[in-house]
A and B are shown apart, each in its own frame.
Chain A
């Protein structure tokens, strides 16, 4: 009986293995082909283009590391690295802190929680292009709502969108407004997974609400917090849309706000310095990778799974 069962099973099993392999490849093929052809290979070929002088039309000519050397002498580019860093630092820290604050409020047992959550999430579905046009208008120096309100209370009414230094602040505020809801929803889901018993235990130990936040909420929220920080970080480093819309290509405004991706776009598609722009892409890639790796390294110290 047992032997017969085995005999029957064996040929079937061989076939099975073969068809598993064939089906495995069939199922994976479309996604793998798309990612390989349109994402992986172009990214790898960037490393070659970065070593060339190339206008996109004629064949690229090899110039070694010249693009990389020029990059560090290029004031406009170095300024865009600084701008991107400022934008990322401002946008990530502000959006995460504000999101934690509101998530903690929303996690309390109150009415209309779902309603608040829906309202806060709404900006996330708005395209950044429209966020840019709207914020340009709301922060308009003369007729914008913000300055009208500030003026009403007798506060100073700065030129939010025409002063190159302030425009960066306005862009950060616009970005925070846009992604607050996303961060909030993820952090709220993290808060809701914290068991009530932890808070009850803290109550028994006589902890006040500030102590509970530091010793219970924050450590247990750390995985969600880490996820939100990584996602915000990567997205902020790639900022382009707001710069494009809010500066309208004005070089004076761009000086204080042009991000790396905007600079790459300009070098490649306005001036046709494709090789040079490729080198900048690669620097951006390494900056994002290093920033992510630092976060992953630091998480060992503060994230508790």
Chain B
């Protein structure tokens, strides 16, 4: 009996290892290719480890393409959107979850209806609007419109609603202002929810492509995804450089993920449970 259970477990492990290898393989191939000479990338059979390590590929990519600016822009956009969403979505979610004022339900329904039409679906009128207010090709267009989301409001509302109502009433009795209840009582109790939303927004912002593609055109405002796409357009036969560029574009999030794995995974799981 005991032996049989062990065999079952080994079968499970083998299945999971095969799956993990398939998941890892593209990463492995990306990194290995990025360290080969272009000639070596086209060898048959392929070398599994670079013959001579071309770290200079990374320097070449950096030289040919201004990834520094792209990194900086993407970091600015990611931080601004993430902080904006955490603040504005939590404020709105708090008001909707705890306070009574006329029009509350209508406003809530309007805000979560945005979940149904993501901005890329209606990019034409948004583009036209940005054009009219002269926001095209600015940091504003990359940040402000994405500083609130139906998803964020919905998610945080679920968290706020799960806190006991007595907490709110008791704080009011003690003469606590609404803003203080929100900021000093409700926010600290919702940290898992905030972490969850923050990670979600940060990942989406770093990886965003269509929005900056439409709304910006100048080199100074290029984000990483745009930089890598135009780099690929120019060097679509030099796979070593292409893969070096890809590694550069994903590195910050991968590192962040490796350090904060638990928060990433539990945060994402929470969006499923609460949503």
Contacts and interface: CB of A to CB of B under 8 A. Distances in A.
Given A43-B122, A134-B29, A148-B45, A35 B210 contact: no
Contacts of B145: 34, 37-39
Nearest to B119: A39
B163 interface: no
Given A21-B101, A125-B253, A145-B46, A39 B117 contact: yes
A164 B182 CA distance: 54
Interface string B39-60: 0011111100000000000000
A130 B25 contact: no
Interface string A221-234: 00010011000001
Contacts of A30: 87-88, 91-92, 147-148
Given A108-B9, A143-B41, A268-B124, A27 B182 contact: yes
Given A189-B273, A240-B120, A261-B210, A118 B225 contact: no
B68 interface: no
A77 interface: no
B62 interface: no
Nearest to B32: A145
Interface string B229-258: 100110010010011011001100110110
Nearest to B239: A137
A4 to B, nearest CB: 17
B168 to A, nearest CB: 11
B148 A31 contact: yes
A128 B110 contact: no
Interface string B149-163: 110010000000000
Interface string B111-129: 1011011111111111111
**What does DSSP make chain A's interface, helix, strand, loop or mixed?**
helix
A34 B88 contact: yes
Nearest to A60: B128
Contact of B144 (A38, A46, A189, A241): A38
Contacts of A126: 207, 250, 253-254
Given A28-B95, A30-B88, A261 B29 contact: no
Interface stretch (A64-72, A79-87, A88-96, A280-288): A280-288
A181 B265 CA distance: 9
Interface residues of B, number: 101
A260 to B, nearest CB: 9
Given A27-B178, A138-B25, A177-B26, A127 B113 contact: no
A130 B182 contact: no
Contacts of A118: 261, 265
Contacts of A241: 209-210, 225
B70 to A, nearest CB: 12
A27 B95 contact: yes
A111 B30 CA distance: 29
B67 interface: no
A119 B209 contact: no
Contacts of A265: 123, 210, 214
B144 A31 contact: no
A213 interface: no
A162 B239 CA distance: 16
A149 B32 CA distance: 16
B2 interface: no
A172 interface: no
B12 interface: yes
A126 B31 CA distance: 14
Most buried by A among B44, B118, B177: B118
Given A42-B125, A110-B9, A134-B243, A128 B209 contact: yes
Contacts of B99: 20, 23-24, 27
A158 interface: no
A185 B272 contact: yes
B19 A120 contact: yes
B109 to A, nearest CB: 11
A120 B172 CA distance: 46
Interface of B: 9, 12-13, 15-16, 19-20, 22-27, 29-30, 33, 41-46, 87-89, 91-92, 94-96, 99-102, 104, 107, 110-111, 113-114, 116-129, 131, 144-145, 147-150, 153, 172, 177-179, 182, 203, 206-207, 209-210, 213-214, 224-225, 228-229, 232-233, 236, 239, 242-243, 245-246, 249-250, 253-254, 256-257, 261, 264-265, 268-269, 271-273, 275
Given A46-B125, A130-B249, A134-B243, 15 more contacts: A23-B95, A27-B92, A31-B92, A36-B110, A42-B126, A43-B122, A119-B23, A120-B23, A125-B207, A126-B250, A129-B229, A130-B30, A134-B246, A245-B232, A264-B124
